[in-house]
Amino acid sequence: MSFPFLKIAALILLLSNIPNFSNIQKIDSLISKLGSLELNEKIETYKEIITFYTRFDPQKSLLFAEEALAISKKNNYKKGEADILYLMGVSSHALSEFKNSLKYYEESYKIRKEIKDSVGIGECLNRIGLIYNVKGDFAKALDYAIQAIRILENQNDKKALGRAYNYLGIAYYVAKDVDKAEQISLDALFFNKTVNDDLILAISHEHLAIIYIKKRNFEKAIEHVNSTIELRSKNLDSLGLAGSYENMALIYRIQNNYSEALKYYDKSLQLKEKLNSQRGLASTLAGIGVTYQKMGNYSKSIELLKRSIEIRKRLGDMRGMVSSLEQISEAYETINDNKNALKYIKLAQTYNDSLLNEQKNRAIAELQEEFQNERKEKEILLLQKENTIQKQFGNFLILLSALLIVVVILIFFGYRSKRNMNKFLKKTNKEITEQKEELQKLNDQLKELNATKNKLFSIIAHDLKSPFQGMIGLTEIIDEDFDELTKEEIKNYNVLIRNATNNIYKLLENLLEWTQLQRDLVKLEITKINLRELVNTIIDIQSTNAGNKNIKIANNISSDIFINADKNMILTVLRNLLSNAIKYTPKDGTVEVFSELKEGSTKVCVKDTGIGIPSKLLKNLFTVGEKTSRPGTEGEPSTGLGLVLCKEYIDKHNGEISIESKENLGTTFCFTIPD
């Protein structure tokens, strides 16, 4: 049966449900390997092939099943024989051959009992219950469903148990306990989401869709139907899709959207005709017939309903018969054909009475009560077990808590001990570090003192010895050659002796001051000093030395410049700096003394036009123990101690001393005195 305005849609539908090329390739590959496989693996491969074809070509699946059954019987492989008989029952069920289907299920059940295949037994009981559902024996259907669950709940096969929960839910639905059916079907859906099998999950959604259609909750019904369509399309379940389309059509029909209803009925019809699903075909024809009745096309409605009744009668579909007879009676009543309306309603009542007489209702109620009591007993045992476990767990928690407290206390004291130890180690380490730093400081001081000692011995050994040797030589000459020397020669020797004596005196003076500084015997005596007057005093002292070399000394310091300093120390600094400037400046040179006022200090400089200082000597000029002394431009001797003494005195004033010099371009020494 098809409709012209839906032919194109139907064609597209049929094409979309043909297995895709990759699946066909996979099955073809399995078929080609059958001849080379060992018995167990061969039967498992047959099972995969049969299951694949059951979804869209049940007749072909039976052909493969017969081959597999013959091989199993020939090799006396009982498990394989039972599994194949079970699948033959599923394929026959899909073809609406319920008598054959029941026979195959029962044969499989018998063998599975022999080999003690508990999961297989539970699956057979499930499927047998479905057959009795179709036959209208709801008491038996419910009984088989409950038996299956009792067995499968004790097995480790979630898929088989998931199918059993699905079948129990629909068993309650056909027994007209819709609320109970909803509760069990929701539990089944929740469980089957953990099973990882799309087709089992699709059945859970389908049963809930049927229940919500009955309850007129169309929003939920459509949601579940869409879920079944998605899952079954993905898994090429053509027979399942046909049922999903029919459920969607029923929803639209109840909502009076007849065009959409007919569209989905036609999709369902095309698949069922292709699959030769007679029971499904009868259901769809009845649905279309009722739709035409609602649309006012009563003749078409009655024609389709009669076809549905004929198929259902042939199949022994008692439950379907009641529905179709009631629908056709309503159609006749609408057109005022009361005779036929009465005829068919009486037939419907007759079939309905055989379906649900009082005895059967009582049996169903007893089964429900027995199952519920059994469930309650299990729940009580489970609660008792949980209470025992909780009590044991509570004791365990108390013991664990006590242990944790002990551990925490141990950790606390361990941490406290560790913290105290860390504090002690940190303190000890700090003391060691301080001692190490102190030792390093003492070591540096010792090195410095050692350098001072070496410098002192160097001065005594060389700078002090050399003048005395010269004096001794001169006195020996005078002593030995006195009678032969002229007065002029004696006078010259006397001058030389006097100069040597002055140099020795200066050396001893600097040496004494320096040693006093090293022993911290020199104390600062700060007074306010007129800087220009102090410089003039030094120029007067050095005028003879400067005059001998015709060197001009300029004091360019303003008369109003005052500093706060130790007068004797600054005199020594200026004497040494001015003496060095004269010593290292050639004849006819110039020496200038000037000052600058800085923020917070006064800067004093001595600048000459002398020979300058080599760069390699500059960095060590103020360091004790470094050889930096050299003779002046006229061979004047140098102690090498004067600049060291200058730096010591300036440091005591918290000032700074610096030097700028280039060879043959002169030198400038500067020092600062803080205000």
**So what's the architecture of 31-115 in CATH?**
Alpha Horseshoe (1.25)
pLDDT of 219 over the 70 cut: yes
Q: Kind and range of the H or E element at 596?
A: strand 590-598
Q: Which tokens go with 488? A: 């002029």
Over residues 148-207, the pLDDT tens digits come to 888 888 888 888 888 888 888 887 887 788 898 899 899 989 988 998 889 889 989 999
Q: How far, in Å, are 165, 450, 579, 623 from residue 641 at the CA level?
A: 111, 16, 13, 9
Q: How confident is the model at residue 456 (pLDDT cuts 50, 70, 90)?
A: low
Is the Cβ–Cβ distance between 294 and 256 less than 8 Å?
A: yes
For 597: left if phi > 0, alpha if psi spans -120 to 50, otherwise beta; the answer is beta
Over residues 605-636, the pLDDT tens digits come to 999 999 999 888 888 788 765 566 778 888 77
* pTM for this predicted structure: 0.48
SS (H, E, C) 492-542: HHHHHHHHHHHHHHHHHHHHHHHHHHHCCCCCCCEEEEEHHHHHHHHHHHH
In the chain, the amino acid numbered 319 is R
Q: How confident is the model at residue 395 (pLDDT cuts 50, 70, 90)?
A: confident
Q: Measured at the alpha carbon of residue 93, what is the angle toward residues 91 and 96, in degrees to the nearest 5?
A: 115
CA dihedral 319, 324, 325, 330 (to 10 degrees): 140
Compute the average pLDDT of residues 17-34: 70
Q: Do 197-275 and 523-674 show the same overall fold?
A: no
Compute the average pLDDT of residues 538-557: 90
**So what's the architecture of 523-674 in CATH?**
2-Layer Sandwich (3.30)
Q: Which of 14-23, 447-456, 540-549 has the lowest mean pLDDT?
A: 14-23
pLDDT of 486 over the 70 cut: yes
State CA 496 to chain mean position distance: 93
Compute the average pLDDT of residues 463-492: 75
CA atoms within 13 A on the CB side of 29: 6
Tell which wins on pLDDT, 374 or 246.
246
d(C-alpha 162, C-alpha 195), whole Å: 7
Compute the average pLDDT of residues 262-288: 89
pLDDT of 367 over the 60 cut: no
**So what's the architecture of 197-275 in CATH?**
Alpha Horseshoe (1.25)
SS (H, E, C) 137-188: CHHHHHHHHHHHHHHHCCCCCHHHHHHHHHHHHHHHHHCCCHHHHHHHHHHH
Domain boundaries, the chain: 31-115, 117-176, 197-275, 523-674
Compute the average pLDDT of residues 547-572: 92
Q: Which of 140, 210, 157, 147 is nearest to 181 (CA)?
A: 210
Residue with tokens 């913290």: 419
d(C-alpha 538, C-alpha 552), whole Å: 14
Q: Which of 272, 254, 181 is nearest to 217 (CA)?
A: 254
Over residues 490-512, the pLDDT tens digits come to 887 787 777 778 767 766 776 67
Q: Which residues pair with 594 in a beta bridge?
A: 605
Residue with tokens 């029923």: 250
b/e burial code for range 355-389 (CB count within 10 A of at least 16 → b): bbeeebeebbeebbeebeeeeeeeeeeeeeeeeee
Q: Kind and range of the H or E element at 292?
A: helix 278-295
pLDDT of residue 10: 39
d(C-alpha 549, C-alpha 608), whole Å: 13
pLDDT of 466 over the 60 cut: no
Q: How confident is the model at residue 431 (pLDDT cuts 50, 70, 90)?
A: confident
d(C-alpha 26, C-alpha 333), whole Å: 55
Over residues 111-162, the pLDDT tens digits come to 999 999 999 998 899 889 888 877 777 778 888 888 888 888 888 888 888 8
Compute the average pLDDT of residues 660-675: 93
pLDDT of residue 380: 43
d(C-alpha 541, C-alpha 495), whole Å: 18
Average pLDDT, the chain: 82
pLDDT of residue 212: 93
Tell which wins on pLDDT, 80 or 477.
80
